[in-house]
Structures are given as structure tokens and as C-alpha cells.
Amino acid sequence: MSDNRVQFGTKLGVIATTVGSAVGLGNIWRFPYEAGTHGGGAFLLMYIFFILVIGIPVICAEFIMGRGTRRNIFGAFRMLHSCRQWAWIGYMGIIASILILSFYSVVAGWTLEYFTQSLTGGIASMDYGVRNQSFDEFSTGWRPVMWTLVFLAFNAVIVLRGVRKGIEKASNILMPILFVILILFCVNSLFMPGAREGLEFLFKPDFSKVDSSVLIGALGQAFFSLSIGLGTMMIYSSYFSEETPLVKSAAMTASLDTLVAILAGIIIFPAVFTFDAEPAAGPKLVFEVLPDIFHQLPGGVVWSTLFFFLLFLASLTSTISMSEICVAFFCEQLGLSRKRAALLNTGIAMTLGTLCALSFGALNGFRIFGLTIFDLFDYASSNVMLPLGGMLISIFVGWFIDRNVVVAQLKGTGTIPGWFLRLVIFSLKYVAPAGIGLVFLAGLGVI
């Protein structure tokens, strides 16, 4: 079966799809708001540190399992080890993917609202100076529910078209355009009166601010942003060809992803200080500040239309990757047709997504552990399930599977120096699991 599995067509396709999965609202919406609530510079530094010492090894582990077996997360664990309990990690990945898809679609829905507001010119009259009102008014109403459902419908259409055609084509063209626009916006922000203060906030670490919540936040953000710990990179790498160099692709995905997050930070924080916004405003931060940016930009309406359209597409390339986890599981393990699998996935996400959308309004009072449904889904998946999944995946690959499989996958059809191979394996065996374990212990207050 493995031989006639669909494969990505081109080299660019490989990197564009993994980057397409990684780059999305995680970089442009979640990174600035997490950095804003966790003190800026120190958060950024921890985040980059975690990407390097934990993120890249975990991506490699997922790639090894994915291409080594050409199966979804369940099939991969089953094929590589006789003990069936390992596959439980797969259940966690599937649950995490559904939780993320649900709250992510709400934010993607906000981008659709902003896109249409830009198209109709509404964004121009939006809230300059009365910033807090417009977003709050919108987000507490029913429109976000509608947009969440509309977004999930788009997502379903692309997922239904299958792996190669839908996903690959879209990401090849769109990601580079988004990148160019982000750079232009960065330049614009650098000329704002609050640029200095904003850049200091983002880049000057204040270590007195590092506590366990900063560590957990940065680790969770690293996992969320790289789309790891739940099987996304595993399922994508199961479509890689034998020639794809795994470590190089992992490093490339991580670098581009981090770069986009930093660009987003450079766009947002100068604006935050110029327009007197609150860096710790939480999930609404970016959506409150962006209209101000467009307001002062010549031709702002055109820029905002383009930007929100591309952000919507960047979100789609991420949500199709999370849907793929579930859909591949429903198809390959439960024997459903692709169509049924995609519909089931969409139905569940629409139900939970509606609850998340209402978390800002009608259901705001409904809290579990003091968190709204939206925040709970986000916290549980990003800060707990993904790092836990990543820890177990690296332990599995480092300690439990046949070393020949690991080496063969890392080498692929090329060569790789012995010391480098040993370094990757060392990271998988010790560094990544211990690093994640320590952050968890810090979070529990044990250390």
C-alpha cells in the first residue's frame, strides 16, 4: 500500500506545505498576543530557545515516523512497535486537532469579517480611537458564529479535494505573497512614533519577568506555531518522497515559521505603542491594533483587504493540515470514505467552534477552571497536549524504535555527517523530553 500512496509533486511542494501548516494565525495572531501578555523580550527569547532545542528535534521525530511508515499517527505507532498502548498518543493528537480546529476557526472567522469590512470600506470608519468598542461589539454578537461556520465550510471543500491538488497548489502560490506583504508592513511600522518602544518591548528581554507561566506559554507557542506534537508533521511527511532531506526540511520549516512570527511582532508592537493599546490585551490584541495600522497607511483599505484575504488563506493552509490528521484517521483506521471522514470532522468542529465563538459573548460567563471554552480549548491543546505529545513522540523515536529506521530516515538518499546524526538522536533521547518535562514540572510548581 505504501508505494501507491499519493505523494507531494514537487520539492517546493514539500516545504511549502509544511510551512503552510506551520505559518498561520499562530504566528500573526497568537504570537503577538502571547508575547504581549508574557512580557515581550523574555518570552521571545524563550520561544526561540524552545524552537531550537525542542521544536526542531520533535519535527524530525515526526518526520521519521511519518515517512518511515507512510501511515497516519496511529498506524505509525502500531507499525513501529508491538505494544499497542503507544497508539494512545494518537488519540490525544486527534482530540488536540479537533480542539484547535474549533477555536482556530473562530479567529479565522474574525479575519473573514475584517476582510468583508475592508471590501465594503467599513474598516476605514472602524474605531479609530474607539478601538475597544468595535471589536468588542462584533465579537460578543452572533456574527462570529456565522463566520466560524463559513470558514469551516471552506476548509471542508479543500479537504475534500484530496491531498495533492488542493493543498499543494494553494500553498505554493500564496505563502510567498503573504511574506512580501508582511515585510512591507514591517517597514511601515518601523517609521511609527512608537517604533522604538515597541521594538524594545519585543527584543529587550527582562528576565525578572520569566516565571513558569512564561515558560509554559513559550513552549506551548513553539509547539502550536510549528504544528507539532499532534501528528500534523507526521501525516505530511508520510507524503514526502524518499529524496526529501528530513533534518534540512525541519530546520527550514522552523526558521521560516519563526521569521514570520518575528515579522508579525515587528508589525504589531510599534503600533501598540503608537496607538496606545494594551500589549497584554489577549486574543483581541491584533484585531484591535490592525485597523489603526491600516487607518494611517496610504491606501489602507486596499492593503487591509489584501492582508485579511491572505491571512484567511494562511489560516486555511493550517486548518487543512489539522483536519488531515482526523480525516486520515477516520479513513485509514475506521475505513470511512474520504468524503464521510471530512464531513464528520467538519460537523464536530462546527459544533465545538460555535461554542468557542460564543465564548466572547453569550457564553462568556460559562467557565471551567476560570477559563472560557475558547481559552480552555487553547490552553489544554497548546500548552498541555501538544508538548506532552511531543515529549512522548521523541521518547518513542529516541528509545523505542529500531535504530536502523531512524538512521535510514535521517540519511534518506543523501549523506549526513556522523556527529550530526548523533546530535539529532541525542536531542531526541534526552534534550527534548527532559526540556519539556522540566517546563511541566515548573508549571506544576514542583521546581
Q: Select from 24, 55, 75, 198 the one that contacts ligand PHE (CB under 6 A).
A: 24
27 binds ligand PHE (CB under 6 A): yes
Q: How many CB atoms lie within 10 A of CB 213?
A: 15
To the nearest whole angstrom, how small is the minimum distance from the Cβ of residue 273 to ligand PHE? 25
Radius of gyration of the chain (CA): 21
112 binds ligand PHE (CB under 6 A): no
26 binds ligand PHE (CB under 6 A): yes
337's grid cell:
470514505
To the nearest whole angstrom, how small is the minimum distance from the Cβ of residue 182 to ligand PHE? 14
Q: Which residues contact 323 (CB under 8 A, 6 or more apart)?
A: 97, 101, 155, 156, 159, 342, 345, 346, 349
To the nearest whole angstrom, how small is the minimum distance from the Cβ of residue 21 to ligand PHE? 5
Q: Segment contacting ligand PHE (CB under 6 A): 25-33, 48-56, 303-311, 353-361?
A: 25-33
Q: Select from 111, 249, 318, 345 the one that contacts ligand PHE (CB under 6 A).
A: 318
224 binds ligand PHE (CB under 6 A): yes
Identity of residue 145: V
State residue 240 phi and psi, 5-degree precision: -65, 155
Q: Segment contacting ligand PHE (CB under 6 A): 23-31, 59-67, 192-200, 341-349?
A: 23-31
25 binds ligand PHE (CB under 6 A): yes
Q: Which residues contact 184 (CB under 8 A, 6 or more apart)?
A: none
Q: Segment contacting ligand PHE (CB under 6 A): 40-48, 208-216, 220-228, 428-436?
A: 220-228
User: Closest CB to ligand PHE among 262 and 322?
Assistant: 322
21 binds ligand PHE (CB under 6 A): yes
Q: Select from 163, 322, 388, 424 the one that contacts ligand PHE (CB under 6 A).
A: 322
Q: Select from 58, 100, 182, 391 the one that contacts ligand PHE (CB under 6 A).
A: 100
From the list 337, 210, 333, 247, the residue with the least C-alpha distance to 63 is 247
What is the rounded CA–CA span in Å between residue 381 and residue 375? 10
**β-pair partners for 175:** none
192 binds ligand PHE (CB under 6 A): no
List the end-to-end C-alpha distance of the chain, in Å, as a whole number: 48
By three-state DSSP, how is residue 25 classified? helix
Q: Select from 232, 238, 274, 427 the one that contacts ligand PHE (CB under 6 A).
A: 232
Q: How many residues bind ligand PHE (CB under 6 A)?
A: 15
Instruction: Tell me the H-state helices in 333-411.
Output: 338-358, 373-378, 386-395, 403-411
Q: Segment contacting ligand PHE (CB under 6 A): 315-323, 328-336, 424-432, 439-447?
A: 315-323
Identity of residue 73: I
Q: Which of 30-54 are b and which e, b meaning 16 or more Cβ less than 10 Å from the residue's Cβ? A: bbbbbbbbbbbbbbbbbbbebbbeb
User: Closest CB to ligand PHE among 13 and 26?
Assistant: 26
To the nearest whole angstrom, how small is the minimum distance from the Cβ of residue 22 to ligand PHE? 5
Which residues of this protein are in contact with ligand PHE, per CB under 6 A? 21-22, 24-27, 100, 224-225, 227, 230, 232, 318, 321-322
